[in-house]
Each structure stands twice: as C-alpha cells, then as structure tokens.
Structure 1
Amino acid sequence: MRLTLEPLDLETDIALLHAWVTHPRSVYWEMQDTSIADVAAEYRLIDENPHHHAWLGRVDGAPAFLVETYDPAHSELSGLPEVRPGDLGMHVLVAPTDSPVHGFTRAVFAAVIDHCFADHAVRRVVVEPDTRNDRIRALNREFGFRELRTISLPTKEAALSVLDSPKIQQSHLTPDYLARAQRRLVTKAISEYAHERLLEPAPDAAEDGQGRWVLSTPTGDTTYSFAATRLALDHWAIDPGTLLRSVKDEPADLDVQDFVVEFAEVLGIPDALLPTYLEELASTLASACWKLRHSTATVDDLLRADYQQTEAAMTEGHPGFVANNGRIGFGADDYTAYAPETGSAVRLHWLAARRQHTRLSLGAGVREADVLDKELLHAHGLDPEEYLLLPVHPWQWRNKIAITFAPDLARRDLVHLGEGSDDYRAQQSIRTFFNTTDPTRPYVKTALSIQNMGFMRGLSPSYMAATPAINDWVAELVDADPTLRGCGFSVLREHASIGYTGDAFHRLAEHTGTSSPYQKMIAALWRESPVPRVADGERLATMAALLHRDAEGRSLAAAMIAASPLDAVSWLRSYLHAYLRPIVHCLLAYDLAFMPHGENLVLVLRDQVPVRAFMKDVGEEVAVMDDERDLPEDVRRIQAEVDPDVKALALHADVFDGVLRHLAAILHVDGVLDEGAFWAEVGRCLRQHAEEHPELADAAAAYDLFRAEFRRSCLNRLQLRNTLEMVDISDQAESLIYAGTLDNPVA
C-alpha cells in the first residue's frame, strides 16, 4: 500500500471533496449542509492563505483522504500560551466508506504525521479535535499526542493536543542536560548516603576548615570534593556547583552510575541486584533530563498554578531516595504518555469482571452506582448481575492483562470494554489518577506492574478488601476529634476497592499457600477528591511542593513565604498547625500513625499560606501501634504491637527526618529562616499541644518526643539491600534498617 500526498487541485477534486466533507460520518468536519460552491469558496481561501494548506492523499494512486496543515500562530489558536514556534497544525479526514479496511486509518495517520515532520522546522504537530469525538481523540493518544487542556473555539470545545517530533522526543538526552542531571543526582547521592552513614566525607585539610569536604573511593583512585554545611539531623547541605570529581588526580565528569559502582563495596548492594539499581538510576537520570528540557514552570508560575499544574511540575521525586524514578517496564512512549511530569491526559480502560471471581468492597454510604457505570455493561450486552466493572491502567491492559490473563478473557471471566470517557492525569505516585473531566469525582488508583523505587506497583485484592472499612474507621475517628477538627485536618477516604481473583495465579496460591506479584495485577480503588472541600480563595497543592526547586534553583516554599502576608516564622507556625499538630495528636491520643510524607498530604493554601491538610493513602500505610486497643474486626489488619522506641519514629523518622529536615535546610540555605528558629518553632508546636492536652501526659511520657536522640532509620539502605522489594508490607516495622542515632533537634 503506497500512500502519497499532493496539493489539493480545486478544479479537479472539488466534487469528490464535497462528497467527503458533507457525508454523515464527517460530522466533525462541520460542513454537513454546505453546497459545492460553499466548499469551493472555503478551500479557495485556504489556497490563498500562505499559512494554511490543503492536501489530497492517495493510496496506490486512488484518492483516499484529505489533509490540512496550518501555522497555529496564524489561526484561531493564535494567542494561546501553549502555541510555540515550530508548531504545525493538522486536520485529517479519511474518505467515508461503507467497507472500512482494518488498520487503514492508522496507516493514513502515520503517513500524515511523517509528512508533517518531513519539514525539519516542525518541532510539534498540533491538533484540536472536538471533545465529543472520542474516536479521533483515542487515535491521537495512541500515536503519542498529549492532551494539554480543553479550549473554547468558535464552533466547538476542543482538546488541544500536541505531538513532539521524534527528534524532539529525545532532545532531552543531550550532553548538557545529562551533565546537569548528573550533578544534581551525585550531589543528592553523597548527601543522603552520608546522612545514612553509608559514606563518611572528611574535612578537606587543604582548605583549612573553609567548609570543603572530600570523599574517596575504597581504592583511593577517585576523589570527590565539595562545599557543604552540616545541619541538624546530620543533613548535608551540599552546594552542587562546588562538586568536583577526580580520577587518578585528573578531572573527570560526574556520573552517578560510576559513583555507585565505585562505592558498591561500602553501599552493600548484592551483586545480583546491582544492575537493577543501575537501571533505576539511568531511568531517574532520563526523567531528570526530560524535566530539565520540558518542565519550564517557574516558582512564580506555580504561585498561581492549579492543583494539577503544580503536581505535574514536581521534579525531585522522593527527597530521600536517590533512585526515585525507576519505572522499569515503561518504554519511551509509555513515559511520554503516563509519567506525571508530562501532564498527559490518560483514559483508563475498563474490564467487566465476573462477580463470582471479583471482590468489591464499599465504604459507608457508597453504592455500586457511585463508582460503577452499569450502562457501560448494558452497552456491551453484559448483565450487571453477572459482572462488575474494574478500571485498569492502559499500560497494564496492553502489557500484562491482554496476554498474561488470556485464558480469563477467552472464558469471558474478564471482558475488555475499551477506554472510558473521562480524562485523568497521573499523580506523582504514578498509578493514582486525578479526574480532570470532573475534578469532583474520585481519584482512581490502579495496579501497575512496573518496578519503581523498591516495589512492583501492584495492588492485592485480598489486602484491599478491608481498605474501605479501615478508611471509614479512621475518618470517623478524625472527624469526631475536636483537636483535629480545630486544625482542619481530615482524610480522603478510599471508599471503594475491587479486585479480580479468578485467575490461575490465585488458584496456585490456594494450592501452595504462596503469593506472587501475579496476584496483584488486576485491582483498583477509588479515593475521595479534595476539590469539593475547597472554599473560595483557597487552592490545593501537594505537600511535596514545599521541597520543590525550579530549573533555576529557586525554592517554591521561599517564594510562597515572600508572596504571603506573613513573616517566615508565622508562615511556618501555620504550616505546623496544619500538618505537625494533627500527626502528633493522632499518635498520642490514639497510637495512630500515618505515612505523612510529601506526596501523601494535600495542603490547602490561602494567600500562599498552608492552613489545613488532607491525608491520603490511608488504607496501605496507616497503623494502630497498640495491639490491646479494641478495634472492629475488619479493621484489625492495621493493628500491631510496636516497640515503644519504634513508636516515636512515626514522628521522629517519618516527619522530622523524612520531611522537615529537607524544608529546614531549604529555608536555611536560602536565607529565609535560620534552622535554629525553624526547629524552635517545631518544639513550640509540640509543647503547645502538650500544654493544651494534660490528659495525654502519660502518652507523651511514653513517646518521649523530646528525647535527646532517636534511631536513624535509613531508606536508601532498604532499597540497596533489596531494590525489588524493600520491605514486607505486612510487617513494615520489622523491615526497617537503622544506623546509629540522630540528635533530636527539639530536645
């Protein structure tokens, strides 16, 4: 099949063109009721316009499709902030036929895209299909177009979408971007490995106490030197610009993979897992290069950004883990389509799963109809009494379910129903999706069988069966507590979960009693959206945003403080009241511990000041650290006997070391707030809570939050020990690794 394009000849092609554009199947071409004269006049205007061109496509010499290309800067898209130099707009109309040929439209589409990018000046192809045209939008996404947002045009609501040139798609992989990414990641590796006492930098004797440090490899062949300030909690605030590497006394480029190989002996990575860790580092570098190239939002932009714009702008990943963007299993196209930093629109796929093999759990007040569209089952001729609906990640469908669960599909225990109609965006946690079509609707969290940051990101149907009940119990407890209400603290309930268990892998587990990642490939849950709870004048931001620096190194937290009506101490006090006080109260009053890291908290901001917070990811990461408390039967999964010394780590390790250490360093280094003043405010928050809650004095004494020191819990040591499965989810406390102690900055 030979496809060619040639300029449209109005004298020869007008009758054929009129038949195509007025056909009932060409409704989105918006020329249904036009005459031949009308069509001729329209395309004569195009012929006379130097910025707009019409092309006739032939297949083996026969007319078969119509193409228009145009310069968006000289079209109705002119003035949109997304329009850039090097953009080329595109419209495609495949000739309507009553005898469609399978794969023909895709072949035409591919040929047209090749035609557009044949001009080396074209850096992106831009399309703006009608938002109601689900078929062409799905085709666009299949070819890698990213939907940026919905725009209003004179005749339609359009999904503005772009496709980068194949050359541009890899344009982030350049020596310049790599060098910048390497410098950042090697700096982080030295800082965090030193923090965990895996490495021990020494003062640079040649600098005579001027704040420079040296780090030598076990062989002594390679040396790293840098300027750093050591802050509370043994935090190494290294100036990236000062970092130098020498190999056999010769200057050498920074390379984080070489760094890990050079120190592998002291890092303790098992030989069999070292290549996997190096692969995760390569992926983290690739992601960092992409962000340097494409994530252009400044901190000033983010002061005005909405929730999802902020989420997509995050560049660091986890503040502690060095290899934090592994995503092993994603290809280059998958990265563009599904990585949260690309901001791409994603449509989940839906399966019908036979009820007898499927577990649906619903929280209080939630009905099946609230999360499942039974009309979708009816539309496919399926009985809602026999099937349940289950959302899956598009990557999971293509790469796992369609093949690995082929027998289940053939038996029609699973039925693939195709894409849903709502657009979603991946959150930083990568397998959780925010509904952008209707932001008030729940998040959807899906199973995703890629390896990322120490885990295969599956979801267990059996483990999640109790998730809604656990969330209900936690939410009821939080909502009923006057102190937590006074902080404005609440949880986003995971109020429904679903999982399929009718496969051979679950039958194998029943037979042998063993588990495997294959049992975690088809499951999902729904989590409440925070959007309906936001008042006028308030906006949302992930707490991870407080640790964000833009491409120029500017701190978002510092910019927020400067733009707020408060001084730095008052701003911090408001933040701690919204975040730290509720965490402490839950610990002392209920022995209730969350996993309160940056991505698990959604902050509510008013005038750039954090005023309250929503906790999420409750089902998998909450614990009641007292095995004698009376809990409902279906909530007892979260109950554990925990050593008293470990209990306080829910504050000391997870909050002080895991979050506040990094924020304190940013504000200190940027000259916004001295670290002594920062930790004084943290201590003030704890003391004020104690003064206002004398009834919790015994619990406070048991937790001893002001102890002189606490165990140094090490995250990277966990990943280095086993990058495939860092901890046993069912007993996380016993999986922890410690390296000495840290001085308590509020003691």
Structure 2
Amino acid sequence: MRLTIEPLDLQRDLDLLHGWVTHPRSVFWMMQGASLADVRKEYGDILANPHHDAFLGRADGRPAFLVETYDPAHSVLAGRPELAAGDLGMHVLVAPPDGAPVAGFTPQVFAAVMEHCFADPSVRRVVVEPDAGNAAIRRKNVDAGFVELLEVPLPGKTAMLSACTREAYEAAAGLGAVAHLTPALMERAHRHLVAKAIAEYSHERLLAPVADPERPGWWTVTAGPSSYSFSARRHALEHWVVDPASIAPMPDAQVFVAELAPVLGIPDSLLPVYLEEIASTLAAAAWKLRHRRVPVTDLVDASYQEIEAAMTEGHPAFVANNGRIGFGLDDYTAFAPEAGATVRLHWVGARRDLSRLTLGEGLTEQSLYAGELAPLTRDRFAGRLRALGLDPADYLYLPVHPWQWTNKLAITFAPDVARRDLVHLGEGDDEHQAQQSIRTFFNRSRPERHYVKTALAIQNMGFLRGLSPAYMAATPAINDWVAATVEADAELRSCGFSVLRELAAIGYTGDAFHRTAGPSAHRKMIAALWRESPVPQLAEGERPMTMAALLHRDADGDALVTALIKESSLDADAWVRSYLRAYLRPLVHCLYAYDLAFMPHGENLVLVMADHAPVRAFMKDIGEEVAVMGELPLPAEVERIRGTFPEDVMALAIHTDVFDGVLRFVAAILDEDGVLPEEEFWALVRATIEEHAADHPELAAAAARYDLLRPDFLHSCLNRLQLRNTLQMVDITDQAQSLMFAGTLRNPAARQETR
C-alpha cells in the first residue's frame, strides 16, 4: 500500500474533514458536536498559523488520515521544561473505515507520519500529548519508540506528554544503518539529482529545454516517452539553475537517465554501470540529508577538515559523481569523505627489489619514514618482519587504504602475501581523514605530516581509482620542477601562489599482473604517494579551506561563499578581486610565462583565508594533472608532462578548467543570492586578466596567442566523456586527445568591444 502526505486543502477537504473529526471514533479529538463552520474556522486558523500545519494522508490515492504538526514552543505546551530544541509536535487521526478494517493499517499510517516528521533533518524529537485515558494510542506510541514523560494538564484533558527521539524511532522501526533510505529523503535526492542532470546535460547541449510560452521561466524537456516541466534561470556560459521542487511529474533519476540513454550516447553495454553510479549517488545524497546537515553559519569559522567533511555535492559538473562502486554500506560510513570518520591506514612491507621508491629533492628514505612514522611504530614494523624470519632491510614500508588491504591485497594478491613479497604490518598509529578526492588522507593526529594518497580499486566518476607505480615514478621530479619554477617567479610570489609538492612515490611491481603483456587496472593496485601538508606553511591568522567549499550550499540552500563575504570586512567586489588575484591571476601568469597548465578545480586548490577572504592559494595534485604546452626546456625526467596542442585547445586551461569548471558556478551563486550581479563578476574576471597584461608587457605575445578575452571559446564537455565510457573516460597519459566538444561558448569575460 502506498501512503502519501500532502498539504490540507480546506476548500476541497472540508466535508471529508468534518465527517472524520465528528465521528464517534474520534472522541479524543474533542470536536464531537462541531458544525461545518466550526471545523472550517478551526482548520483555517491552523493553516494561517506559521507554527502549525495540517496535512491530508492518502492510501493508494484514497483519503485515509489527517496529520497535524506544530512547534511545541508556540503551543499550549509552551514554557514546559521538558521541551528541547529540535522538537516537533504531532497529531494523527486515522479516518473511520468505510468497509472492513485493514489489518495493520494504523501502524503503517503511524510509520508514514513519523517518517514525514523526521524527513526534516533539523527535527530531533517528535512530541505528542494524547489523552491520558486513551490507552490504545499510548500503546502505539510506545511501540513506535515514544517515552512517556509525565501527565500534564491541558485545556479539556489531562495529557500524557511523550517524546520520541530520531534514534529511538529508527531503532523501533528497524531502520538501523539504512535510516537514510526513506521515501521522503530519496524524493529530495531524486529531485536534486535530476535538477542537476537537466542543468548539466543542457549546459553540454545534450538536452535542449523548450520555453513555456505561457509561463515565463518555465521549461520542458522530453526524455523518451516522458516529458518534464520545471522552472529555471539561465546564467552566463549557458549555466542553468533548476528548481528541484518544481520538476513535474515527480522524477526518478535512474528512469530519467535510462529514458535519455540514446540521446546521451551511453553504450548499451555500459548503461547498467552508469545507472549503478546514479543509484550510489542517490544513496549518498540521502545519507548526507539525514546525517550531514551542517548550516553554512557553522562553517564560516570551521576548521579545514570540518569543512572538508561538510561538502555535500561532490564534483559540480558530473551528474554521477558519488559512484564508489565497490564500497558496501559499512565501507561508506567508514571511508566516505562526508562521513568525517577517522581512519588508520594499513601498512605493508613491500620487498625492496620488487618495488620502487622515488624521492623529491632534499628527501631520503630515512627522513621520509622518520617524518611519517614514530620510532616505536618503525620498531614494531621491523619486529613483525623479524618474527617471520625476514630482514627489515629487504623491505620498504608502503601505506594502503584499509579497504584495499581487505578487498584486494589479501585476496587478489594472496600469492604475493604468501611469498612474503608483501607483508601486512598492521595499522599505523596516526588518525587520518579522507578528503573529497576519497583516496587521499589528511593526518588528523599530526596535521604537519604529509597527506597520503593511496590506491583504491573502486569505480568512481569514470575511473577505477588506482595508482600506477610506473606512471608515478616521475612524480617527485615533476613536483620539484614545478615548485622550483613557481618559487623563482616574482609575480607568483607576489600573489602568494605556491604548490604542495608530492615528495615521494612508492609502488610494488612484483605481482603476476606486471608480467603480462598489456597494461591493466590490476597494475595500479599497490602504490601510494606523500604530499606536503599546507598546515606548516600558514601564518598566524590564516586558515586553509578547500576551494570546493565556495560552491557549497547547505541542505537549506544557503551558500557558504555568500556567508563568507557577509562575514568578512570586504564588500563583494573587493572580496571577489582578492579571490581572483589568489586564484586566477597566478594561473594566467603560469600559462603566459611558461605554457604551464594545471587542473585547478575546487578540490585541487587550497585557499588560504584571512578575515574570511581568500588571500593566496596552494595548488596540489601536480604529478597527474599538470602540462607544459610549449617548447620550454625540461629536465629529462620531467619530459612526460610536455604536450602538443592546438592553440584554441591550449587556452582551455583557463576557459574550460577555470571559467567553465569553477567560476560559472561561483558567479551564478553570487548572482542568485543577490550578492554580486554576474555581469559585474565577469567584469572583475576581465579586469584581472587585463591588469596582469598591463603589469607584464614582456608577455604580450603570449597573451595575444592565448587570447583569453576572445568572444567565444571551445565548449569542452565533461559528462560526455563519462557517458561515452563509464569505466575509463579519458586516457590519463593523453588526456587532450580524449576531449569532446559541443561547439563554442560565448565568453562572458570577453573584451567589451567584442561582446
């Protein structure tokens, strides 16, 4: 039986309501002799009261029950010491049966009503005050998890004040670990994801919404046999902001994608994989709605890792962005970034002659391990090897993700463990926290210690998240060269721009998979790298924050970037100028001066905040996501990062990765929130680029060649890549050749004379 709850329509439902509340079975409702006018006034007053609501419940579409919710602090219970913040009052009336009673119907209704109440994550307890003489309803309350507190005198009755916490309800309902998988939360997840799908697929011109001629701001899209209407606003760069609540009919994200599969170009053989990633993204969204409701006001002064765990959207452009295929529910709560749990990494001894450790400048094997592992920990690892009759000098220490050890190394690499080519040394002593990039960990016990990036063989957002020992061997040398180039540049120093170096990389290659003819994902299962932490490089009064946070809206729709601007001493114009100087100007300079391009999306950049405004930035994830696109001389071990590209593609290092990948979202948020009109935002972007050009006439030829202020630029699309191949959307060794385009986009930062 399908139970639904909708707002009461007094004009439509009055006769029905009158019959219910005056029925002899409803004696405890205290309206036995009420006239139609009495009922109209009573419920008219309720609907007009901002602290009281009334709802009609249906069973398979048939009116079947009445629900009232109210704020106890604005009721006859006001002032009682038993009340607490997060309380929601509730009344429920099951309609008299019009035929034979349905066994178990009332408990089903009660469960649906409790779910409705707890669908709002801000609700911590449901409060009821039934007549103390109503033994039947009191038993049902207790069965549902209510605790009877005390009898209280109320107008017309002596009530048994009772309360049910969220945890007690979930325990009584047997929900446990799947408490987030409720119809109400899943509906919000579906609506949010379909709104994002419409927005991003339309942005990439996979969909073409049709304007409703009779309703300005309303649009329609057709998906196979279905048609969906919605309200939306369009911003620069064909950026859509779709209202999730407006989408009709009620959408199902998997059905929506399946209906669109021919249009989206998803191969039939890969559609199930994409649908699985959609399902996982929905599950994660519901979990975050249930467990991760952090208002942006609490994040304005939050710590680096509190903000990292509070991010709820994932990648802003990819629709299926929380796939994580391979994680079970227990893995999700243990290892997902939004869970915010601390993790102890596992360590293995990898036989030295079957492994490779490469180190950055100024680092030795001894200094690396001394900085990352306490002496007692190193002694414990060495003791474990000696207990097995092994010489510790024959082994390197390699950190692994706990999931990777349990699900891959101990199974897929069982022969290597049995040969003692890999030896499990146990957990490390430090507590780590997963970052938004999921396989990278921040050291919570010792924040000054390095990040650790581990191989993780789950399928997520178009890739199996492994690490290649062969590919990473050059990572420290690449990082050394990039860091030296950045540190030697006066312009970059003046902007405070620097990189977090990946100082060391380690990988094991003694397995059978490295003896096969062709490359495979199995060669990327046992590897790790260490990256500098930003914490030791901060001055007093500075704090780090992932740039992804600037795109974050909380469960109530409030934006963190808006809250930061309001909290700072700067006006919106000055705040954005400071941000663009910290972020955009250094990237433009690297491109002009060195043909050097980064992958500067939100999670790859750490902003340094002072007085709630960005003042400088750290670039990270250098080894895999940096390119030199010109003839700049490079050391032989760094030559891998050189690429040859058409000039219009070279400019996409700013046009796609910065303008379209980050700034279109920030600009739209500020415009939507009434903080800064998007025309003014993009004028500041243009001014930042023009000011750099004026300060560096020696780079005029490069500025003309890249022409970042041209009228339009190639429209490079991300979802198209994932839709084409959900298992490996690009070849990481030749990413430019994998790009997919959808015409051009009008450049909102273009010179005024070309606009």
Q: Report the TM-score range of the alignment, normalised by the length of the smaller protein.
A: 0.7 to 0.9
| Aligned counterpart in structure 2 of residue 287 of structure 1, from 284, 288, 297 | 284
Deviation at 1:317, TM superposition (A): 0.2
CA RMSD of aligned residues (A): 1.9
CA contact 1:122–1:165 (8 Å) conserved in 2: no
Shift of 1:385: 2.1
CA contact (8 A) 1:579 1:612 kept: yes
Q: Counterparts of 2:560 and 2:500 in 1: how far apart (Å)?
A: 25
Task: Look up the match of 2:313.
Answer: 316
1:191-590 paired onto structure 2 within 5 Å: 191-207=199-215, 210-218=216-224, 221-245=225-249, 253-372=250-369, 373=373, 374-380=378-384, 381=386, 382-508=390-516, 512=517, 514-590=518-594
1:121 to partner: Cα distance: 5.8
The answer for the alignment partner of 1:173 in structure 2 is 181
Instruction: Name the amino acid aligned to 1:578.
Output: A
* 1:712 counterpart SS class: strand
Instruction: Give the match's secondary structure for 1:746.
Output: coil
Q: Return the alpha-carbon distance in structure 2 between the equivalents of residues 85 and 336 of structure 1.
A: 24
Change (3 A) 1:688 1:164: farther
- The secondary structure found in structure 2 opposite 1:619 is coil
Identity between Structure 1 and Structure 2 (%) = 65
Cα-to-partner distance string for 1:583-617 (whole Å, 9 max, x where unaligned): 10000000000000000001111111000110000
For residues 538 and 206 of structure 1, do their structure 2 counterparts lie closer, same or farther at Cα, with a shift above 3 Å needed? same
How far residue 368 of structure 1 moved from its aligned partner, in angstroms, is: 1.3
Q: The residue matched to 1:359 in structure 2 has which SS?
A: strand
Which among 719, 722, 725 is matched to residue 722 of structure 1? 725
SS of 2:614's equivalent in the other structure is strand
1:338, CA displacement in angstroms?
0.3
Checking the alignment, whether the CA contact within 8 Å between 2:234 and 2:241 is kept in structure 1 is yes
Query: How far apart are residue 403 of structure 1 and its match?
Result: 1.1
Give the C-alpha shift of residue 704 in structure 1: 0.9
Post-superposition Cα deviations, 1:418-476, rounded to whole Å, max 9, x if no partner, equal 11111100000000000001000000000000000000000000000000000000000
Residues 7-22 of structure 1 mapped to structure 2, 5 A cutoff: none
Q: Deviations over 1:633-692 (max 9, x none)?
A: 100010111111100000000000000001101111111110000000000000000000
Question: In the aligned structure 1, how far is the partner of 2:223 from the partner of 2:432?
Answer: 46
Question: C-alpha deviations, 1:298-321, integer Å up to 9, x for none?
Answer: 101001210000000000000000
Counterpart CA distance in 2 for 1:575 and 1:206 is 41
Aligned partners of 1:683 and 1:358: how far apart in 2? 49
CA distance 1:556–1:460, change in 2 (3 Å): same
Q: Give how far 1:225 is off.
A: 1.2
Give the aligned partner of residue 28 of structure 1: none
Q: Which amino acid aligns with 2:458?
A: I
Aligned mate of 1:666, from 664, 669, 674: 669
Q: Which of the two has higher C-alpha Rg?
A: 2
Amino acid of the structure 1 residue aligned with 2:584: L
Is the 2:145–2:172 Cα contact (8 Å) retained in structure 1? no
Cα distance in 1 between the residues matched to 2:279 and 2:451? 30
Structure 2 residue 714 is matched with structure 1 residue 711: yes
Structure 2 gaps, min length 5: 1-123, 127-142, 148-170, 751-755
Letter in 2 for 1:173: L
Alignment partners' CA distance in 1, 2:240 and 2:568: 29
* Partner-residue secondary structure (3-state), 2:550: helix
Q: Match of 2:414, as an amino acid? A: A
SS of residue paired to 2:288? helix
Supply the distance in 2 between the matched residues of 1:320 and 1:284 (Cα, whole angstroms): 13
Deviations 1:725-746 (A, max 9, x none): 0000000000000001000111
SS for the counterpart of 1:655 is helix
Unpaired runs of 5+ residues, structure 1, are 1-83, 87-118, 124-162, 246-252
Greater mean deviation of Cα atoms: 315-324 or 701-710: 701-710
Q: Which amino acid in the other structure matches residue 187 of structure 2?
A: A
Is the CA contact (8 Å cut-off) linking 1:558 and 1:672 kept in structure 2? Answer: yes
User: What is the distance in 2 between the residues matched to 1:286 and 1:550?
Assistant: 17
Q: Which residue of 2 aligns with 1:635?
A: 638
Q: Structure 1 residues 683, 518: CA separation in 2 closer, same or farther (over 3 Å shift)?
A: same
**Which residue of structure 1 lines up, in the alignment, with residue 744 of structure 2?**
741
Matches within 5 A, 1:572-611: 572-611=576-615
Aligned pairs (5 A) from 1:94-173: 167-173=175-181
Q: Deviations over 1:382-420 (max 9, x none)?
A: 433211000000000000000111111111111111111
Q: 1:376 to 1:619 in 2, by over 3 A?
A: farther
Distance 2:297 2:615 in 1: 20
Deviation at 1:367, TM superposition (A): 1.7
| Residues 710 and 743, structure 1, Cα contact 8 Å, conserved in 2 | yes
Asked whether the equivalents of residues 182 and 255 of structure 1 are also in contact (C-alpha less than 8 Å), the reply is: yes
Contact residue 377 and residue 383 of structure 1 kept, 8 A: no
How far apart are the structure 2 equivalents of 1:386 and 1:121? 59
Deviations 1:344-400 (A, max 9, x none): 110111000110000000001112123324434322124332110000000000000
1:267 is matched by which residue type in structure 2? Answer: L
Deviation at residue 229 of structure 1 after TM alignment:
1.6
Q: Which residue identity does 1:329 align to in structure 2?
A: G
Instruction: Tell me how far apart the structure 2 counterparts of residues 272 and 183 of structure 1 sit (CA, whole Å).
Output: 27
**Partner of 1:149 in structure 2?**
none
Which residue among 616, 632, 638 is the counterpart of 2:620? Answer: 616
TM-score, scaled to structure 2 = 0.75
Q: CA deviation at 1:630?
A: 1.2
- Give the 3 Å change call, closer, same or farther, for CA 257–336 of structure 1 in structure 2: same
Runs of at least 4 residues off by over 6 Å: 163-166
Residue in 1 that maps onto 2:690 = 687
Query: What's the CA shift for 1:239?
Result: 2.2
Distance in structure 2 (CA, Å) of the matches to 1:543 and 1:270: 34
Q: How many residues align?
A: 578
Structure 2 partner of 1:116: none
**CA displacement at 1:166 relative to structure 2:** 7.2
- Secondary structure in structure 2 of the residue aligned to 1:291: helix
User: 1-side partners of 2:419 and 2:507: how far apart?
Assistant: 18
Shift of 1:120: 8.7
Rounded to whole Å, the distance in 1 between the matches of 2:257 and 2:338 is: 26
d(CA) in 1 for partners of 2:190, 2:382: 53
d(CA) in 2 for partners of 1:658 and 1:264?
24
Tell me which amino acid in the other structure corresponds to 2:204. Answer: E
C-alpha separation in 1, matches of 2:495 and 2:302: 25
Inter-CA distance 546–729: structure 2 relative to 1 (3 Å threshold): same
Secondary structure in structure 1 of the residue aligned to 2:206: coil
Conserved in 2, the CA contact under 8 Å of 1:182 and 1:254? yes
Residue 109 (structure 2) aligns with: none
SS at match of 1:228: strand
Instruction: State yes or no: 1:654 paired with 2:660.
Output: no
| Cα offsets for 1:538-586 (capped at 9, x unmatched) | 1111000000001110000000001110110100000000000011000
Letter in 2 for 1:169: A
Q: CA deviation at 1:488?
A: 0.5
